[in-house]
Amino acid sequence: MQLVLEKRAERSQTIALISPLIAIGLTIVTMSLLFVILGKNPLAALDAYSIAPLTDSYSLQEIAVKATPLVMIAIGLSLCYLANAWNIGAEGQFLIGAVAGSWIAVKTQGTEAGHWVLPAMLLAGAAAGALYALIPALCRVKFGASEILTSLMLVYVADLLLDYLVRGPWRDPAGFNFPTTAEFDPVATVPVLIEGGRLHLGAIIALLVVAGAFIVLGRTIKGFEIRVVGAAPRAARFGGFNADQLILLTFAVSGALAGLAGIIEVAGPVGHLQPGISPGYGFTAIIVAFLGRLNPVGILIAGLFLALTFIGGEQAQITMKIPLDVTKVFQGILLFYVLACDSLILYRFRLISASRQVHRGAG
């Protein structure tokens, strides 16, 4: 007997929907093994990771807070990936957006500046993220440089720029030499939705982004263009769509969304600019995008799920002394299984007896 992958006549809609669930199931099995190897009770660990955070209001709000940047970034990335443009540098665009928005906050600190400050910060963050994303996109279109490498490398540039600013020119004079800016003024802060809670306006913006992407991808000619350029480049050119322009556009949009997420994070939950404002949102969003099938609604669900693993990871660290890095292992294994299960959309397993093996030949 032999197990072979056989091409399906049409893509399976059923598998497209359940493939992320299979991937999550396989991840749980693998993680359980890992917990056993670490000498932890796998049931307790899984409970800490995925059940416990759902049981109290603080954790639930915190999941939404963490999901907000993940979803916003992942929506932008999904547009890139659908169009076959590989933006891996959302983390850098997130940081640059945070820096650019913070510049306004720092400059207006302690002045009489009115309510225009926060909208200006959001605009600046989005614009800076878009411009920063256009660097690898332009290199790709003009010189054929791999956007995967250049966008990734620019992450470190952004990281070091932020580091320099908060240790140098923007450091809070009253901050005991900690590398951080002063707390932003109230007009430079994203308002919370529930008094005394952590849930902020960014969550609403993320939902609007999801709705917008849903409409653009499903109903507009631009959305069709994005999908067809990625799915069949030659047919797209025949249809009159310009792949180069689309790379620029999708990178700009995803950069803008990442930058917006960055400044919302800084002006919201964090409250000031400092190193380490992102626990790798820009990279985790890649997993979110694929786990969500590059579909806006899927991304919303996947973003909440990945946020759960962040919160669960912290809980597991506190209650069971499981290292925080295990969260990253969890996310990596998940992405691995998601991509693997995706082959089942176009292929299916078939058991073939040895005497009638299929040889795939030329022609």
Give contact residues for other proteins (rule: CB under 8 A): 9-11, 219-222, 224, 227-228, 231-232, 234-240, 355-359, 361-363
CB of 29 vs other proteins, minimal distance in Å: 30
Residue 222 or residue 328: which is nearer to other proteins going by CB? 222
How far, in Å, CA of 132 to CA of 99, rounded?
12
How far, in Å, CA of 171 to CA of 274, rounded?
9
* DSSP of 9-69: SS--HHHHHHHHHHHHHHHHHHHHHHHHHTTS-HHHHHIIIIIGGGSSHHHHHHHHHHHHH
How far, in Å, CA of 102 to CA of 188, rounded?
9
Of 99, 76, 312, 58, nearest to 206 by C-alpha is 76
CB of 350 vs other proteins, minimal distance in Å: 8
| Residues counted in the chain | 363
Residue 198 or residue 227: which is nearer to other proteins going by CB? 227
Residue 146 or residue 357: which is nearer to other proteins going by CB? 357
Run of H or E including 350: strand 347-352
CB of 345 vs other proteins, minimal distance in Å: 10
Kindly state the tokens that stand for 131.
Answer: 């411009």
Residue 142 or residue 356: which is nearer to other proteins going by CB? 356
Q: Are 299 and 74 in contact (CB under 8 A)?
A: yes
Alpha-carbon distance values, 211 to 72, 112, 219 (Å): 11, 36, 12
CB of 344 vs other proteins, minimal distance in Å: 15
* DSSP of 279-325: SSHHHHHHHHHHHTTT-HHHHHHHHHHHHHHHHHHHHHHHHH---TH
Q: Are 95 and 229 in contact (CB under 8 A)?
A: no
CB of 361 vs other proteins, minimal distance in Å: 3
CB of 228 vs other proteins, minimal distance in Å: 5
Residue 37 or residue 221: which is nearer to other proteins going by CB? 221
Instruction: Name residue 192's beta-bridge partners.
Output: 200
Contacts of 284 (CB under 8 A, 6+ apart): 70, 306, 310, 331
Q: Are 280 and 94 in contact (CB under 8 A)?
A: no
CB of 96 vs other proteins, minimal distance in Å: 30
CB of 143 vs other proteins, minimal distance in Å: 18
CB of 141 vs other proteins, minimal distance in Å: 17
CB of 325 vs other proteins, minimal distance in Å: 38
How far, in Å, CA of 172 to CA of 53, rounded?
35
Alpha-carbon distance values, 175 to 70, 163, 213, 231 (Å): 30, 15, 41, 52
